Amino acid sequence: MQGLLAQGISVRYGARSVLAGLDLPLLRPGEVTVLAGPNAAGKSTLLRAIAQLQPHGGKVLLDGRDLAHVPMRDRARLVGFMPQSLPAGSSLVALESVIAALRAGDTLGARGADATAMAVLDKLGIGALALEPLSALSGGQRQMVSLAQAIVRDPRLLLLDEPTSALDLARQVRLLSELRRLAAEGRIVVAVLHDLALAAQWADRIVLMHGGHTHAEGRPELVLTPALLAEVYGVEARVERCSRGRIMVLIDGEHAPG
């Protein structure tokens, strides 16, 4: 069975249950899936659970293999993870940090690693930053380097936690079209996005999370409806259809209950 299947995912922080037996539909290769939902809905936790960075109950199957039982080194080849932010204090240069993404887990030996890492930076349009220390980069630039670290091992599954949060418009488009391209090559891409307009434009599927559950999921125009947005976010929203079948989400204000 090709694709990513997450079933019965549950995570507790102490006594507080963050995810309570959450199921995701089968996410197929070639698809970009966006996890959306209000703060504390459990989006980042779900992403970290799928990446096996967070102890959890339930099963995560990638192409039928239980990721919890895949040895770490092999898992690093299969899964790329982009965290919300990189630590700002490191004096490692950008290129070094991407080489570390290849060599720390012995994914690639000394020979090819340097050139492979450099090629990824070039592809993302940040080749000029290769020799800059991470501490000298802006938040957005660091985010692009972090993306390079996530994709340099050429993973089958790509997990991204708010990858556009610090990016300007041009870089947002660059990153999202890169994600589309990576998906088109047969990868599974899952990203947490807060910006519903971006989600509507770039996602094949949106999973709308609320209170640790999947509230709704499906194609953007099925999920981004005024009724669902009022339920989950408590906002008054209009959804307009525009050219080329796209939809646009306009927020009018807080939802007045009743």
Partner 1 sequence: MSDATLSRYHRQGRRNSALVGVLALAALAALLLDLMTGPAGLALADTLKALAGGEVARGTSVIVWDVRLPVAAMALLVGAALALAGAEMQTVLENPLAEPFTLGVSASAALGAAVAIVLGLSLPGLPAVWSVSGNAFLFALGALGLLQLLGRIRGGGPEVLILFGVALNFTAAALLSLVQFVASADALQQLVFWTMGSLASAQWPGVMLIAVVLAGSVPFSFRAAWKLTALRLGEDQARSFGVDVTGLRRWTLFRVSLLSAAAVSMVGVIGFVGLAGPHIARMLVGENHRVFLPASLLTGALVMSLASTLSKTLVPGVLLPVGLVTSLIGLPIFFALILRGRRR
Site for partner 1, residues 40 to 59, rule: CB under 8 A: 48, 51-53
User: Between 103 and 215, whose beta carbon lies closer to partner 1?
Assistant: 103
Q: Which of 25, 105, 125, 226 binds partner 1 (CB under 8 A)?
A: 105
**What is the rounded CA–CA span in Å between residue 125 and residue 18?**
37
Q: How far is Cα 6 from Cα 78, in angstroms, rounded to an integer?
A: 16
By C-beta, is 134 or 198 nearer to partner 1? 134
- 249 near 197, Cβ under 8 Å? yes
- As measured in angstroms, the least distance from the Cβ of 85 to partner 1 is 9
Cα separation, 10 vs 79, in Å, equals 20
What's the angle, vertex CA 45, arms to CA 238 and CA 53, rounded to 5? 145
Q: Looking at 2-10, 13-21, 130-138, 180-188, which segment touches partner 1 (CB under 8 A)?
A: 130-138
Nearer to partner 1, 146 or 214 (CB): 146
Is 112 or 234 the residue whose CB approaches partner 1 more closely?
112
Question: What 3-state DSSP class applies to 225?
Answer: coil
Tell me the C-alpha distance between 158 and 119, whole Å.
18
The rounded distance, in Å, linking the Cα atoms of 53 and 47 is 9
Backbone CA torsion sign across 173, 179, 184, 190: negative
- Nearest-5° Cα angle at 66, 55 to 38: 50
Q: What is the smallest separation between the CB atom of 98 and partner 1, expressed in angstroms?
A: 10
The DSSP letter of residue 28 is P
Minimum Å gap between C-beta 239 and partner 1 is: 35
Is residue 250 involved in binding partner 1 (CB under 8 A)?
Answer: no
138 is a contact residue toward partner 1 (CB under 8 A): no
Cα 56–84–204 angle (5° rounding)? 80
Q: Nearest Cα to 210, choosing from 42, 56, 59?
A: 42
Judged by beta carbon, residue 86 or residue 229, the one nearer partner 1 is: 86
6 touching partner 1, by CB under 8 A: no
Q: Per rule CB under 8 A, is residue 156 in the interface with partner 1?
A: no
Q: Which of 15, 16, 106, 242 binds partner 1 (CB under 8 A)?
A: 106
> Using CB under 8 A, which of the segments 121-129, 173-181, 184-192, 215-223 binds partner 1?
121-129
* Angle in degrees, CA 88, 91, 94, rounded to 5: 85
With binding defined as CB under 8 A, does residue 205 bind partner 1? no
We find the least distance from the C-beta atom of residue 184 to partner 1, in angstroms, to be: 23
Count of other CB atoms within 10 angstroms of residue 45: 21
86 touching partner 1, by CB under 8 A: yes
Which spans of this chain sit near partner 1 (rule: CB under 8 A)? 48, 51-53, 72-73, 75-77, 79-81, 83, 86-87, 90-93, 95-97, 100-107, 114-115, 118-119, 121-122, 127-128, 130-131, 133, 146, 149-150, 153
